[in-house]
């Protein structure tokens, strides 16, 4: 038995209806050289909406205005419910265009924080709402997002998650369900549960500033997919649940499924298998609840190498790989290469991606040049 949520969308063309008093609540914050250098946050007086500038996002001074649009009506978003007020912000700086780095938006919303809530911006040309990458803060009941626009109108919408109720009888045979976009699937082998349960599937975006991303990895699944099982009776899994996630990368780099451990706020790799022919990663998991994603592990880096006077062995220092890792270092100009063992790291930042001992550097380039353009590849 297979279930899939199908949305039927009817689109109407509506223009915002604006009352002359549309901006009854307005906050203006000065953008000065000092606060732009260190980063600044502009917040409405009631604290329900804020815009944060990272350091040096823009160079010129000016101001930002924040407005709660209390007397305005925009078209609805099909298949979604607005769960907050309309807000508008405008960066008032001479000559500012699309921002090189995004602004971070936070707004409160009403409704169930476990539902799929995303911040949307209003596209004036298409006359419709478009989603922004968003993350819900369950404790603060806020949605956090990133925006590249210097001026835009925003609103939070609650979108439909996939919710399916299964009876005890349903679980006597194989059951599977799929996310609305088809990129995630979850299965229940016959006898996996001994009681009725509701299964909820949700989709979340990864924010640009997410610090939980595994080192030397990037997410290649379309989003983070979360499933959870709920029941009025105690739930116990009888075996593992098969899961499938699509990927958006065709590179030869290793791809693995990860689960987000909410207690430590870290991604943990789980046993999985990548099929390059179908572009999916499959795994079997023991979880009643799990946010899952696929990350591609980067094993090759390009940059410059320098050298230091160490021992005579072919060792190296880098922050790219753990201590004890063996890597191949290739001179991009000559093709000469050497294999070194990572024996040290460094604190802070460096202009180079790796430092080789004098002996190792001499194998690929003349030490008197000081630096060389290299590719560093993980071996073991």
- The half-sphere exposure of 262 on its side-chain side, counting CA atoms within 13 A, is 8
What pTM does this model have?
Answer: 0.53
Report the helix count and the strand count for the chain, using DSSP H and E.
2, 33
The whole-number pLDDT of residue 281 equals 96
Q: What is the pLDDT of residues 219-249, one digit of tens each?
A: 899 889 999 999 999 999 999 999 999 998 8
Largest pairwise CA distance in the chain: 78
- CB of 237 within 8 A of CB of 195? no
Q: Which residues of 212-249 are buried (b: 16+ CB within 10 A; e: fewer)?
A: ebbebbebbbbbbbbbbbebeeeeeeeeebbbbbbbee
Q: What is the pLDDT of residues 316-347, one digit of tens each?
A: 998 888 888 899 999 999 999 999 999 988 76
The whole-number pLDDT of residue 10 equals 31
133-149 average pLDDT score: 87
Asked if the model's pLDDT at residue 14 lies above 70, the reply is: no
The whole-number pLDDT of residue 210 equals 66
103-124 average pLDDT score: 86
Q: What is the pLDDT of residues 32-66, one digit of tens each?
A: 888 888 889 999 999 999 999 988 888 888 999 99
Q: How far apart are CA 253 and CA 240, in angstroms?
A: 27
Domains of the chain: 12-159 (2.60.220.30), 162-297 (2.60.220.30), 300-378 (2.40.40.10)
Residue 119: pLDDT band (50, 70, 90) is very high
Backbone angles phi, psi at 366, to 5 degrees: -75, 125
């Amino acid at each position: 038995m297979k279930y899939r949520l199908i949305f039927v969308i009817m689109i109407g063309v509506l223009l915002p209806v604006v009352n002359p008093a549309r901006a009854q609540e307005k906050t203006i914050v000065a953008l000065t050289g000092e606060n732009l250098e260190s980063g600044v946050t502009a917040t409405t007086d009631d604290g329900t909406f804020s815009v944060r500038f990272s350091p040096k996002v823009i160079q010129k001074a000016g101001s930002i205005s924040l407005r709660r649009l209390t007397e305005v009506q925009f078209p609805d978003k099909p298949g979604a419910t607005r769960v907050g007020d309309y807000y508008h912000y405008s960066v008032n700086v001479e000559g500012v265009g699309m921002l090189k780095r995004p602004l971070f938006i936070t707004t409160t919303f009403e409704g169930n924080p476990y539902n799929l809530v995303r911040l949307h911006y209003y596209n004036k040309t298409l006359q419709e709402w478009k989603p922004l990458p968003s993350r819900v803060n369950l404790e603060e009941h806020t949605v956090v997002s990133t925006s590249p626009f210097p001026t835009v109108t925003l609103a939070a919408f609650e979108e439909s998650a996939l919710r399916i109720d299964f009876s005890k009888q349903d679980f006597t045979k194989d059951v599977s369900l799929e996310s609305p976009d088809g990129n995630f699937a979850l299965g229940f082998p016959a006898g996996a549960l001994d009681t009725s349960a509701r299964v909820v599937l949700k989709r979340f975006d990864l924010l640009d500033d997410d610090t939980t991303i595994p080192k030397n990895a990037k997410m290649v699944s379309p989003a983070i997919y979360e499933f959870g099982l709920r029941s009025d009776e105690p739930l116990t899994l009888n075996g593992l649940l098969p899961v499938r996630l699509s990927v958006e990368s065709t590179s030869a780099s290793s791809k693995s499924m990860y689960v987000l451990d909410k207690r430590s706020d870290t991604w943990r790799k789980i046993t999985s298998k990548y099929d390059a022919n179908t572009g999916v990663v499959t795994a079997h998991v023991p979880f009643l609840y799990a946010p899952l994603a696929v990350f591609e592990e980067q094993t090759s880096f390009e940059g410059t190498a320098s050298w230091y006077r160490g021992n005579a062995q072919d060792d190296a220092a880098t922050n790219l790989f753990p201590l004890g890792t063996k890597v191949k270092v290739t001179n991009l100009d000559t093709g000469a290469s050497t294999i070194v063992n990572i024996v040290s790291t460094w604190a802070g930042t460096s202009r180079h991606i790796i430092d080789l001992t004098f002996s190792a550097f001499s194998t690929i380039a003349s030490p008197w040049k000081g630096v060389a353009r290299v590719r560093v590849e993980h071996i073991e």
